Structure 1
Amino acid sequence: MQVLLAESDAAHAGTLQQSLRRHGYDVGIASNGVAALESHGEYDLMLLGLELIDIDGLEICRAVRASSEIPIIALTARDTELDRVLSLQAGCDDCLAKPYGFRELAARIEAVMRRSRRQPPSVNRIVRGPLSIDRESREVHLDGRSIAMTRKEFDLLHVLASEPRAVLSRERLMSEVWKETRGTGAVGRQVSRTLDTHVNMVRQKLGDHEWIVTVRGVGFRFGHY
């Protein structure tokens, strides 16, 4: 299992990383909040130190929870009831006060992962790294930020993200999103321009053209998975 340890205290992070590795965990370290937000999508569990040097740990938890269901255990130096309550309200699955014993931490990790495995994934929500697409509410979030999209932009992104490894033809995208075929001649060119325009708008709103990759002569595919 891959664990992300978000901890600014280098000595504590190094010691804990070694202990976790001895117990079979693959551990990556994020020394600040920015790194944690950028990399959490690659891991199965986050151990989140709340006293990071750049961003408050609770803010990081809220941002991660807006786009991901990754289990989070908060590690805090402030052992008060209020801190534990705030951690849980922000979206943490558990909270452990420093100093703590490694056996207790390992037991809490196992308990959190058991609960996580028992929860069925939402059929209405697609999470691809930092990108979250909720079909029911028709909301898109990237790194915790809400991304406003038109109806067709949302439908186009949802179709592509639903099959992230597939190259979808222009004809299929026009059929599923616009409920029409491409056609020939001037009509076909207009339909193709409509698709290209919407692809470019989605790319701009997500801030990276690599979210939707053009496959020349065929169509498009989702670019991050």
Structure 2
Amino acid sequence: MDGRIDILTLFPEMFDVFNYSIIGRAREKGILNINTVNIREYTKDKHKKVDDYPYGGGAGMVMSVQPIVDCIRAVKKLNKGRIIFLGPKGKTFNQKMAKELSKERELVFLCGHYEGIDERAYKYIDMEVSLGDFVLTGGESACIPIVDSICRMIPGVLKSEQSYEDESFYNGLLEYPQYTRPEYFESERVPEVLLSGHHENIRKWRRLQSILITMEKRPDILKKTKLSKEDMKLLNNYIENNI
């Protein structure tokens, strides 16, 4: 994706986080174009209200359809990308989805709030995404990690593809252990293989560690990952030498 991301929200200031670190530098270089749009600017209510009580009663307030739809229509004049709503009924976000969305040139994220949005707004939404099976105070809290995850896989954002291809979940497994100086800290030393300079042995060690860590911490992921013949050989050798 070398286009733009627009985030429709009631709280644009929450996205100041994208002014810093890796994402901030990528924006300064023109690699990323992330914009926030305040939904309140599109309400026709003289008091700038964007919510109301739900018909039929019930606790809480619901975001009104008019400001949401008018905001979407305005943004679509500049951004032709899919409208993605951050809501609890959506498909759970994962690394596979992040990779797919990072290939899009343009995307629009709609952040819900309060008790949700008027049902009539859904026909303007192309996709609903959830961060997980838990409740947040608003879509903004879900949108930040999702946009961050997508953006970091856009070419040029990180220094090299290797930076994200070795990370947890990218290739189906958790990431291997990482070490840096000093070589010795208290009673622990960096694993000898990492000091050997033998790149093939280091690669095999890291792959084995990813398998073992995933087996220990997330066996559910390992069940869904197809291990190669080399993976099985590494694992069997490890088991044989540690019985």
- TM-score norm. by structure 2 comes to 0.26
Q: Bigger radius of gyration, 1 or 2?
A: 2
Q: Which structure has greater helix proportion?
A: 1
Q: Normalization by structure 1: what TM-score?
A: 0.28
Which of the two has greater strand per residue? 1
